[in-house]
Each structure stands twice: as structure tokens, then as C-alpha cells.
Amino acid sequence: MKLRQMKAISFQIPPGEDRLLPMTELGRRWAVHPKVARLRVEKLKLPLVVFNQREKAVRLSDVIRAELEATISAPSDGSL
């Protein structure tokens, strides 16, 4: 499958099953500190849900979509 075809693949979570991931959970998912997770979210330009000044979260569907795009765009020969 060509790269253009792979980019067309989308991932969707049914609206009732989508949930919010706080930065602590996202950090555990990505095996990084929550502050690093927040920086990565900003770099990926994922939409943030802000509860108050201390609590921020992202939708699980946005995280999975970003992970899939990162996997698709990664070089296949192992070089970075």
C-alpha cells in the first residue's frame, strides 16, 4: 500500500466511548513525564480540554489518530 493510501486511513471511536485523558494518563501511555506529554501535545497541535489552570486533558480519539499518523510517517528502514 502506498503512503498516500495509508494516510487516508482514519480511526474513529464511537462518540459515547470516547473519553478524556489527563496529562498524567497520557504520560503513562507514552512512557514520559506528564510535562513532556503536555509539550508533545502542543507540538502535535492536539486540541486541549482545560478544566482549570492545573488540569488539562486530550480526547483519546485525537491521541490515537496522532499515534497512527506517527506510525504511518515513520521510516520503514529504521533510520531517523
- In the chain, the domains with their CATH numbers are 3-10+18-73 (1.10.10)
More confident position, 36 or 76: 36
Confidence at residue 42, expressed as pLDDT on a 0 to 100 scale: 93
- CB distance 22 to 14 below 8 Å: no
pLDDT of 18-75, one tens digit each?
889 999 999 999 999 999 999 999 999 999 999 888 899 999 989 998 888 877 766 6
Q: What are phi and psi of 50, to 5 degrees?
A: -105, 120
More confident position, 59 or 12: 59
Tell me the pTM: 0.71
Confidence at residue 74, expressed as pLDDT on a 0 to 100 scale: 61
The residue to which cell 508533545 is assigned: 40
Query: Quick one: cell of 75?
Result: 521510516
